[in-house]
Amino acid sequence: MEEIRIIEVKQSVFEDNNKDAEELRKTLKAEKTFLLNLMSSPGSGKTTTLKALAKELSGKLRWAVMEADIDSAVDAEAMLNAGVPSIQIHTGGMCHLDADMTRQGLSQIDTKEFDLVVLENVGNLVCPAEFDTGASKNMTILSVPEGDDKPLKYPLMYETCDLLVINKTDVMEYFDFDMEKVEKYAKMRNPDIEIIKISAKTGEGISKLADWIIKNVNDWNN
């Protein structure tokens, strides 16, 4: 996996995405591969967070990344440079991935060889939350510069996610961001959502996030 592979995926012809997602989840469970669906706005730091995780997860998990974007391969390049096997998926203009598109991407990875595959979804707080990708767990990142009102405006994203990561805490003092408010709003959408605060840039909180991932991968694979 030394050079960047770009996979063009096509919108699903399956009518029942939920059924399709359940089947994919079952297959991955049997293969002992945990699929983490990572969603957020553009620019909240999905790739930077994964790069920061590369060191923490090294030697503890065998993992790979599927980068989904409409165009470019900058994210897969960044992950390969960080030493993580990665492929770039192009969605043909689509704003999200569904379960079949996810399967098309996964077919290019030898999933049995990995404990964890992270799907970095298209940067978008609306559409990705509407489609079950077949993931074991869903995670969203909200970065401090985006503001604390996002759970009010994009309810489904927070209802769908198991984990909310609040990123760019290193610039808290330059923005009007009320941590208590965002936690309150997120819990209002989803009382069970877990919250971890990080700065992917400085490394703050990354070991906590790595622990969450390792625990969830182990629960899934055992």
Binding interface with a copy of itself (CB under 8 A): 41-44, 69-72, 74, 93, 95, 122-127, 130, 143, 145-147, 149-150, 152-156, 168, 170-171, 174-175
Tell the smallest beta-carbon distance from residue 31 to a copy of itself (Å): 30
Tokens of 222: 């055992």
- CB of 108 closer than 8 Å to CB of 117: no
Strand-pair partners of 68? 89
CB of 192 to a copy of itself, least distance (A): 20
Nearer to a copy of itself, 195 or 214 (CB): 195
Asked if 126 and 44 touch (Cβ cutoff 8 Å), the reply is no
Residue 113, SS3 per DSSP: helix
The residue among 26 and 188 lying less far from a copy of itself, judged by its C-beta, is 188
What letter does residue 174 receive in the DSSP assignment? G
Q: Shortest Cβ distance from residue 121 to a copy of itself (Å)? A: 11
Q: Which is nearer to a copy of itself, 23 or 170 (CB)?
A: 170
Q: How far is the CB of 163 from a copy of itself (least distance, A)?
A: 18
Based on CB atoms, which residue is closest to a copy of itself, 69 or 162? Answer: 69
Residue 81 CB-density burial (10 A; 0-12 exposed, 13-18 middle, 19+ buried)? exposed
89 vs 6: CA distance, rounded Å: 6
Q: Minimum Å distance from CB 29 to a copy of itself?
A: 30
CB-nearer residue toward a copy of itself: 69 or 115? 69
Count, residues in the chain: 222
Q: Compute CA 93 distance to the chain's CA centroid, rounded to the nearest angstrom.
A: 19
